[in-house]
Amino acid sequence: MKDFLKYMLATIAGIIVVALIISVFSLLTLVGIASMDSSASPVLDNSVLVIKLDGTISERAQENPFAQFLGDEAQESGLDDLLASIKCAKESDKIKGIYLEGGALAGATPATLEELRNALLDFKTSGKFIMAYADNYTQGTYYLCSTADSLVINPQGMLEWKGLALQTIYYKNLLEKVGISMQVFKVGTYKSAVEPYLLDDMSDANREQITTFESEIWNKMLKDVSKSRNMKAEELNALTDSALMFKSAKFYKKNNLVDKIAYTDAVPQILANMMECEKDDYNTTNVADVTALAQSKPKSTSGNLIAVYYAEGEIVQEESASMLAQGASIVGPKVVEDLKELAEDEDVKAVVLRVNSPGGSAYASEQIWNQVMNIKANKPIIVSMGGYAASGGYYISCAADWIVAEPTTLTGSIGIFGMFPEASKLINDKLGLNFVTVKTNEFADFGDLSRKVSDNEAAALQGYINRGYELFTKRCADGRHVSQDSIKAIAEGRVWAGVHAKKIGLVDQLGNLDDAIEVAKKKAKIDDYTVKSYPAKQNVFDQLINQVKGNSYADAKLKESLGEFYGVFNSVTNMARKDHVQAAMPYYLKFNL
């Protein structure tokens, strides 16, 4: 028995020691990977920039050496890196063209695709070429690849161009089966974020707003692609209704949707022909290397900075471990602290607040608004809107000196709601529990899940929501220099596309991040400056901590398994963690891009 215990303990000790050695070795390896000098993969002369349109796109992607180490092939691209690499490729004598490799993009909003597409069009003004190839073009990748001088598809390939469909999932019947109902208090006819919990079908008001902005976005996409493919928008729209995804490659070529039909192995020769050289006489480079080349260029010696602060994701007052795993979020106290530092930094002459958010906590939004005002008192602050800048996302934007949005940005949604679950049927009927409360005052047990809110509680709650709406609309009115009544006329929680938001005065200019930086430069009255991005990206050790705290690897695998339904899962599972009072749009909107 003694020998058995001795050997067992020795075995356990050996396993622990080996595990520690492997962990240390792995960490050192990962640090080595993360710290590798970009000069190890230089951009050579006579190069083609290869952009793989696959995986997910976010505003700023973190470099993740863990994914590579663990053999995770999922690719995440940062819009900032993509734009920087395309701009550098335009200006660099080493790069002669761009090769777009089509795949399936996830998480890209119409505005994200539009900004990327405009960057590709700007690249072409240099006289350099773009070539695109895909076995199968999704609608989003085709929208981007239609900019190409030579657009190639596999002989057995598929091309999706089918129009927009926006789907909302309703939970009311599911909640009823579980024994839960949602008690909602809101202001805004169009404030549809609460609809999935109250209805089993779309309201007329919500259908109206979706139909309007969806049509505006689709018409913009039609116009863009038809111009690049040298055809009429009406002709392209007619082809859309012919079930294009089931047509042959020959049909696509006949109708001018593609230029060539070829297998993958023909791509090198096609590129060589466009380079006017032999197949082995050109080099390829990637986004990471070209971004590194862009960052290595000499900075301004003036000391003047234009700070671009990225505010991406749901607005929350406190970040949970699961949110660390699920991606970017706008954490009120952290953003407030960061913006305060930018306000006090004398080298920062102007701030561009890059907002890509569907909103969230009304309280956190108000705190961030206050810091925007703090910056505004000392230096210009310009807002650049990404895919979303709605509800709380608009709340934190409205006080800026100038607001720039893409035509397809979703913004507005000026409204407030509060949502409180009531689970008496689940607790009493299904679980057989009976809660008995003894209290000293009327509101002592407010928030009790086992009962409905009382009439007095409901009146107090609605009054609180009404005051929040009054404050929200006043913030917007003061920021836009109009009357509160004129804001209320276009508020009511309604979501607008950027092109419409410009017409009704919610934004000042249609454009991209570079346009916003140009406005910041003029308002700061500086010519020589350096653009610096904030907050700083996480280093390898921060990523390691967040991997452990948030279990992001497990969440990534869940995201991979659930696919397009991950957004639904994420929305429902985080419901209990959200502030009860929200300035949020119906933030799980699934475009078929």
**CB 477 within 8 Å of CB 486:** yes
Percentage of the chain surpassing pLDDT 90?
A: 63
State how far the Cα of 255 lies from the Cα of 260, in Å rounded to an integer: 12
Mean pLDDT of all residues in 187-204: 86
Whether residue 391 lies in the annotated active site: yes
Q: Please, what is the Cα angle at 259 between 255 and 260, to 5 degrees? A: 115
Alpha-helical (H) ranges within 131-257 are 139-145, 172-178, 195-198, 204-228, 233-240, 249-254
The per-residue pLDDT for range 205-233, each reduced to its tens digit, is 999 999 999 999 999 999 999 999 999 99
Question: pLDDT-derived band of residue 542, with 50, 70 and 90 as boundaries?
Answer: low
State how far the Cα of 97 lies from the Cα of 381, in Å rounded to an integer: 36
Q: Which of 191, 349, 502, 559 is catalytic?
A: 191
What is the pLDDT, as a whole number, of residue 544? 56
What is the pLDDT, as a whole number, of residue 35? 45
Q: Which of 391, 397, 552, 571 is catalytic?
A: 391
**Would you mind telling me the total number of residues written for the chain in this entry?**
593
Question: pLDDT-derived band of residue 33, with 50, 70 and 90 as boundaries?
Answer: very low
The per-residue pLDDT for range 95-122, each reduced to its tens digit, is 999 999 998 887 789 999 999 999 999 9
What is the pLDDT, as a whole number, of residue 580? 65
Q: 22 or 120: whose pLDDT is higher?
A: 120
State how far the Cα of 352 lies from the Cα of 402, in Å rounded to an integer: 10
Q: Please, what is the Cα angle at 33 between 30 and 36, to 5 degrees? A: 145
Question: Using the 8-state DSSP alphabet, how is residue 575 labeled?
Answer: G
Count of other CB atoms within 10 angstroms of residue 298: 6
What is the pLDDT, as a whole number, of residue 75? 75
Whether residue 191 lies in the annotated active site: yes
Across 70-79, 231-240, 311-320, the highest mean pLDDT is recorded for 231-240
Lowest mean pLDDT among 294-303, 378-387, 503-512, 540-549: 540-549
The per-residue pLDDT for range 525-538, each reduced to its tens digit, is 999 999 999 998 86
What is the pLDDT, as a whole number, of residue 543? 55
Mean pLDDT of all residues in 382-394: 96
What are the structure tokens assigned to 402, written together?
């100038």
Q: 497 or 11: whose pLDDT is higher?
A: 497
Whole-number Cα distances in Å, 507 to 261, 351, 524: 43, 17, 20
